[in-house]
Every structure is written in structure tokens, then in C-alpha cells.
Amino acid sequence: MDVSGRGGRVDGASQSQGNASTASHSREVDPLSVTKRLQRDGRWPEVEPVRDRLMKECKKKGMNKAESQAWTYSELDRLYPPLVTEWTTGSDDDELGSTDRGTVTGLSDIPASWGQLPANASLGAEIAWCQANRLWVVEEKSDGATVVHLKLARSPAPSWSALGWLETSIRAYSKFVDVAAKVTATHQDQQDLVRRERMAIDEIRSLLAEMREDSDKG
């Protein structure tokens, strides 16, 4: 991806924050469709912080949740348009391991027991859910179509966004694996940090205990 192009989009996102009051004039888009598209082409980790900033700006302008979401996703759709090569079939996709595998059905058949799903959860939770349930719920047909049986999931999806990642794992598995690897690496780094902090705390406690013993002896 062209770094200068990405910088331009981020600058555009910053400028658009000052125009949140024009939300009523934004063209309508489907938030879930925009999210799924950006997840499929691997840009969601880049876009999500921008989404959060735009939502906060809308809140500051006094917009309600529905208005904020409508304007924010309209802006995201404008700032991050579809890639020219998105979901085309051919040698380029084959080399990337992201060839569109045909129709995918069942993603919208949410079990009643799941209740109302939030739009988003933490990226780690969404990816972990997909990894844990993909083999249970995804059925690949001989004609290339894929059927998703959400009722067979071991647990409810943490968000609608998680279903988008599930579709990404079906249509562009290599991209999904790449994101999952990054999430796992980040989680491992956090675990290592916590472990080091605990070790430091244990060392401090040990030193304090020794100091108290010396004080008692004195």
C-alpha cells in the first residue's frame, strides 16, 4: 500500500472530524458491509482507530448513537474506498491465496439464544472466537459454495464484527491468518510484560522482607 496514500486518508479522517455536524447530509451505507469489506482486504486494523476517533467526535457534537454510526461509516466508506482488485479471481489472487471461494450463506442466521450482538468487541476476542468455532460452523460444499451453521458454534459470537472476520477466514484465509498471527503476537507480548512485572514485584517484596528482618534483629 502506498504510504503517502494512506497518510492522505488519515489526514482526511482528521479533517472530517470537524465536519461531523453535516451528518444528516452523509450518504447512507450499511455499517456491517463496510466493516466486512475492510476486514476482507486487511485494512480494518488500520481503520478501526479512525472509526473510534470519528465516533468520539460525533458524540462531542451531541449526535445520538444512530446518527454517529451513520455518519462515521459513511466517512469510512468515502475515505477507504474498495480496492480495485477486491475479490477478483485470477492469478494475482491465487498467488496471494485469497481467491473468492464463491457464495457464503448463513452468516445472518443468528440463533435466538445469542440475543442482541454488539457491533464490535476487542479484536483479540473476535479472532479467538473465529479460531475456536470455524471448524464447527463452516461447511464447504462440492460446488464451491460455503454454508455457515452458527447454531453449531460452541459459544455466541462476541459481536457482529466477529462474523465479518469469520467471512474473511472463509473468503481470504491467508489474510485472516496474518491478522490472527499479529493478534497472537501482541497478546504474547502483553503476557511477557505482565510476567516481568510480577517478577519485579516479587523481588521488591523479597527485599522488603529482608529489610524488616534486619530491622527486627537490630
Q: What's the pLDDT score for residue 10?
A: 46
Q: Are residues 99 and 61 part of one domain? A: no
Structural domain contains residue 84: no
Nine cell digits for residue 207: 527485599
CA 34 to each of CA 44, 73, 81: distance values in angstroms, whole numbers, following the listed order: 10, 7, 9
Q: What's the pLDDT score for residue 5?
A: 45
Contact 131, 168 (CB under 8 A): no
In degrees rounded to 5, what are phi and psi of residue 73?
-75, -25
Q: What's the pLDDT score for residue 191?
A: 53
Contact 171, 87 (CB under 8 A): yes
In the chain, the number of structural domains is 2
Over its length of 218 residues, how does the chain's per-residue pLDDT go in tens digits?
Answer: 444 444 444 444 444 444 444 444 456 788 888 888 888 877 888 888 889 989 999 999 899 988 888 899 988 888 888 775 444 334 334 333 444 456 889 998 999 999 988 888 888 899 999 999 999 999 988 888 899 999 999 999 999 999 999 998 898 888 888 888 887 765 454 555 556 666 667 677 777 777 777 676 65
Q: What's the pLDDT score for residue 149?
A: 95
Q: What's the pLDDT score for residue 200?
A: 67
Q: Which of 156, 145, 155, 164 is nearest to 107 (CA)?
A: 164
Q: Are residues 150 and 110 part of one domain? A: yes
Which single residue is written with the C-alpha cell 468455532?
133
Structural domain range at position 47: 3-79
Q: What predicted TM-score, i.e. pTM, was given to this entire model?
A: 0.46
Q: Which of 171, 165, 129, 184 is nearest to 48 (CA)?
A: 165
Q: What's the pLDDT score for residue 122?
A: 87
Task: Decide: helix, strand or coil at residue 34.
Answer: helix
Q: Are residues 70 and 7 part of one domain? A: yes
Q: What's the pLDDT score for residue 24?
A: 43
Q: Are residues 186 and 153 part of one domain? A: yes
Domain boundary among 54, 79, 104: 79
Q: Are residues 174 and 121 part of one domain? A: yes
